Chains A and B, each alone.
Chain A
Amino acid sequence: MAKPLIKEYGSPGRKGYSLPEVDVPEKDPEEALPEGTIRQEKPDLPEASEVDVVRHYTSLSNMNYGVDSGIYPLGSCTMKYNPKINEDVARMPNLANIHPYQPEEQVQGSLELLYELKEYLAEISGMDEVSLQPASGAHGEYVGLMIIRKYFEKKGEERSKVIVPDSAHGTNPASATMAGLDVVEIESNERGMVDIESLKEAVDDDVAALMLTNPNTLGIFEKDICQIQQIIHDAGGLLYYDGANMNAVLGYARPGDMEFDVIHYNLHKTFSTPHGGGGPGSGPVAVKSKLAPFLPAPVLKKEEEKYCWDFDRPDSLGKIHAFYGNYGVMLRAYSYIRTAGAEGLKEITENAVLNANYMKEKLKDTYELPFASDSLHEFVLSGSRQKKEGISTVNIAKRLLDYEQYAPTIYFPLIVKEALMVEPTETENLASLDRFIETMKKIAREIEETPEVVENAPHNTVVRKLDEAQAARNPDLRW
C-alpha cells in the first residue's frame, strides 16, 4: 500500500519549521514592487509538523531498495557499493560550505583536489585534457559531440553524421540529436560486435563520429577496435567512447590507447558515487589534445602552484552548466580513486569481470545466452526460452523482487529479445552471487511448475504489479 501523501498529514496552522522574527523595520513590498507582483494566495503546500515530515520520509525510505539493501545487478549501471567515508568527505564543512563565486584563492584546497582528479581521469583513460563539468553521462555525451561539432566547424568541414551501433545506449543517438547531428544506426554481427561491413558502408566523408561503448552493452569487447578506428580516422571522422562500461577495463585497456578522441566517464558508475535514486551523477569528458580548445568553459588550470578557472577559451563550445558541474560528486570520486590507488583500480576490474563471468557460467544453461563471445563485467541473457512457456522477461524481473533482490536491466540492449542484462559489480561477494543464481534458477523452475506465480508477480512487495498503461493513458502527475 502506498503511504498517505505528505499533504494529507496537514492540519491548518500546523508548522514544521522555525525562523527568527523579523529584526528590521518592516516595509510593505506591495508599495515598492510592480503592480500585481505580490502573491495573493499562499501555495497549497503541506502544513505538517517536523515529526510528521520525518515519519513520512522515513516510511517512504522503507519502501525503497538501494545497494545497501542488497544486490542491484542493473546492467550498464554499475551499482556498486557506495563507500561511507566518501559521504563524510563530501560533507566536510570546509569542502562543502563554499560558494561558486568565492575568490579562487579561498578555495585552493578544493581546486587542488579537482585538479588531481582531472589528472587521474586523464591517466586512467589515456587522454590529455579533462573537463569535470558535465553533470551526468548524457550531459557528457552531449558535450563530447559538441566538441566534435566545433572541431569540424573550425576546420571548415561540414560533417553531420554520427554512427551508432544498434546495441548502443539510447542516450547516444539522443545526444547526437541534441548536438544537431544526424544519427545512422549500424547492425551488430552474429558475435555481438560492430559489423565491419556495415560500418564501411555507413562511412563516407560526411562522418563526424562513431560512438562506441567498449566493452559494448553486451559486455563484449570490440575485438576489431584497431580496424574500426582505422576506418573512421581514414574517413576523417572522430571516435567517441561511451564510458558507461569503464568498470570492465581499468588497468587493462585505455580508450586513449585504442585511439578514441573523446570519452565521457560516469563517476556514479565506475567511481562508486551514489546514484541517489536517479541522480546526481557526473560525466567528465576527456579528450586528446587537439580537441582541448573546444572544451566547455571554464577549464581548471594550474599556474605557478595556484589553481584557477580559465574562462578565456575562444574556441570553447560555450557553457553547459551555471557553475562548474557536480562538485559534490567529484569529491566522492576523488576519495574513491585515492582509496583504490593504482593497484586497487585494476583489482576492481578483475573482480567485476570475475563475478560477472561466474554468474554467466552458472546461468547460461538455464537461460539462453544469445552471444557466446567472451564477455567482461556484464552479460546479457535472453528470456526467450521462458517466453515460449508464456512468461515474459518482465515477469521474471518482478518475481526477483519477491525474493528481495533487484532485477537486472530488462529489454535492453534492443538487439536481444527478452533481454536480461546482468552486472553484479565487484562489491558483491560469492554468497550474494550464489543467492542470485539460485533465485534465477528457482524462477526458471517455477515457470515450468507454477507459471501463474511468476506471471502474477510480485506478490510480496508493498504494492503488486502496477498498471503502467493506465498511468500513461490518464496522466495523474500531481495532487
Chain B
Amino acid sequence: MRYISNTPPEKEEMLQAIGVEEVTDLFQAIPEEVKFERPFDIPAGLSELELKNLVTDKAEQNLDLSNFSSYLGAGSYDHYIPAIIDHMIVRSEFYTAYTPYQAELSQGTLQAMYEYQSMICELTGMGISNASLLDGASALGEAVIMARRHTRKEKVLLPETLHPSYREVAKTYGEPHGIDFKAIEQEGTVTDYASLAEEIDDDTAAVVIQYPNFYGSIEDMKKIAAEIDRAAKALLIVVANPIALGLLTPPGEFGADIVVGEGQPLGNATNYGGPNLGYMAIKDDRRLLRQLPGRLVGKTEDVEGNTGYVMTMQTREQHIRREKATSNICTNEALNALMAAIYMATMGKEGIGEVANLCYQKTAYLAEKLQNLAGVKVMNGDNYFNEIWLQIEKENLTAEEVQTQMCERDILAGVNLARLTDNKGLLVCVTEKKTRQELDDYVSNLEVVLDG
C-alpha cells in the first residue's frame, strides 16, 4: 500500500517502543468470536497506471454531455464555469483541510466562508446565510423542520409546482416531526393561487414556493406574499435558483423568511448530481437565527485587535447541544461553497445578471420558435426563465419517443416529466452555453421528429 511510509525496520522500532512483538498483538482487544479471519473478497491492489487504465475503460462506457447538445436541467444546470474556479480549488491548503476547528490556522477557509455568506445574502436579499447545507433538497427539509419549530405549527403547504424530488425530501424530513403536508394544485405551469389562499390558515407553519418553479415559470410572489401576510405567523420559504436571482427580484424583497436552494448553478459542474451544495439564508431575525441549522462564520478580533474569522453560535450545533441541536448536520459542502463564492466573486455585480439575461433571452428565442411549431405546445405561455414545459400534442407520439429520437440526433431534448410527475411532456432547459445555431438545430430536428 503505497500511501503508508513505515518501513519494516521502522515498524520494528515502533513495536519495540510499544513493547509488543507483532502488529497483530495490538488487536488483542477484539474478541475471537468477531475477529475477521479471511482475506477480503476484493481484487488485489493496483498501481497508479493500472488504476488509471481501469477507470478510463469504465469512463469510456459513458456518453458525457460533450457528446450532445443538452437541454437537461430540473435542478442541475449546465452553466459555463470560469476556468479560474478549478485552478483555485485544487490548492490543497483548501481542499485537504478539515472543518476550521483551529481558527488561527484556518483563516483562509473561514474568510472565504464569511464572503460566501455575504454574497448569498446579497443575491437573495436576505440578512443571514449559513455556510452551506448538503444539497438543495435537504436544505428544504431542514427549512420545513425549522419552520415547524419556530412557529410551533404543523401545516406546511407544498405546491405541485415545487420540484417533485424536493417535495419528497421535505416529506421525509418532516414526517418524524409531525408535519402535516398539504399539496397545492397547479394551474398550468403555476400554483393555483385560489387553492393556496384557501389552505393558508392559523395552523400554517410555512408555505414553500419555488422561484422559478419546477416547470420554469415565475409565480406571482406579490400575491402569494400578501396571502401569507393575512395569516400572520406562517413563514414564506422560497426555493430559489441563485442564477435566476441575477434577473429576478430577490426573495427578501417579497418578505421571504427563509430562502434555500441548490447552489450548484454557481460555478459547480452537474457532476451526476453531487456533490452539490444547499444554501440557506434567513431574514435578519434573532429568534430565527437561533433555529438556523449548519455552520456559521463570524467576524471577530484577536487579542491584538486584528480582524479574524471564527465559527460562531455553535451552541445551535450537534457537537455542543447534542439531541437539542437545531440539526444533526456536521460535515457540509464547504469546498462547493468555496466554488460558489469564487463564481460569485468572478461574475460579480454585473456578471450574474448577464448570465441570467442570456439564459432568459435564449429560452425566449427557443420558446417562441417552438410556439410556432405544429405538434407541440409551450405550456408556460411567456412566463419562464430558463426552462419550459413542452407538451407533445401529436397523436401516437410520446415524450419518451421524442426524447429517444432526438437523442439519436445527439440532442438531449429535455427531462421527461413522466419520470418525476403525473404530467406529460419534456422539461427543456436552456443556459447561456447554447448558441442560436444550436437552438435552431433543436427546432429543426424536433420538426423532423414530429413529422416522422
Contacts and interface: CB of A to CB of B under 8 A. Distances in A.
B220 interface: yes
A64 B109 contact: yes
26 contacts: A2-B107, A5-B111, A5-B114, A6-B115, A34-B222, A42-B353, A43-B250, A47-B348, A60-B94, A66-B97, A77-B98, A91-B86, A112-B58, A174-B322, A180-B177, A226-B33, A257-B34, A277-B95, A277-B97, A279-B334, A319-B172, A322-B276, A327-B275, A342-B39, A463-B306, A478-B118
Contacts, number: 693
Contacts of A252: 27, 30, 35-36
Contact of B306 (A2, A137, A334, A470): A2
B122 to A, nearest CB: 4
Given A98-B62, A320-B138, A467-B301, A274 B360 contact: no
Contacts of A95: 55, 58-59, 62, 64
Contact of A342 (B2, B5, B42): B42
B106 interface: yes
A372 interface: no
A329 B236 CA distance: 34
B322 A136 contact: no
B436 A258 contact: no
Interface string A447-476: 000000000101001111111101110011
B416 to A, nearest CB: 8
A253 B327 contact: no
B338 interface: yes
Interface string A179-192: 11101000000000
Interface string B47-73: 010011011101111111110001010
Nearest to A173: B323
B93 A343 contact: no
Given A34-B221, A335-B51, A107 B272 contact: yes
Top 5 nearest A-B pairs (CB, nearest first) are A323-B273, A180-B176, A341-B45, A276-B335, A66-B96
Interface string A195-211: 00000000000000000
Given A123-B40, A136-B331, A464-B302, A92 B273 contact: no
Given A47-B349, A180-B176, 4 more contacts: A5-B115, A45-B351, A138-B328, A475-B296
Contacts of A81: 3
A278 B341 CA distance: 15
Interface in B350-374: 350-355, 357-358, 360-362, 364-365
A254 B360 CA distance: 54
A46 B34 contact: no
A292 interface: no
A416 interface: no
Q: Which of B122, B312, B322 has the most CB of A within 10 A?
A: B322
A91 to B, nearest CB: 8
Given A35-B222, A65-B93, A47 B350 contact: yes
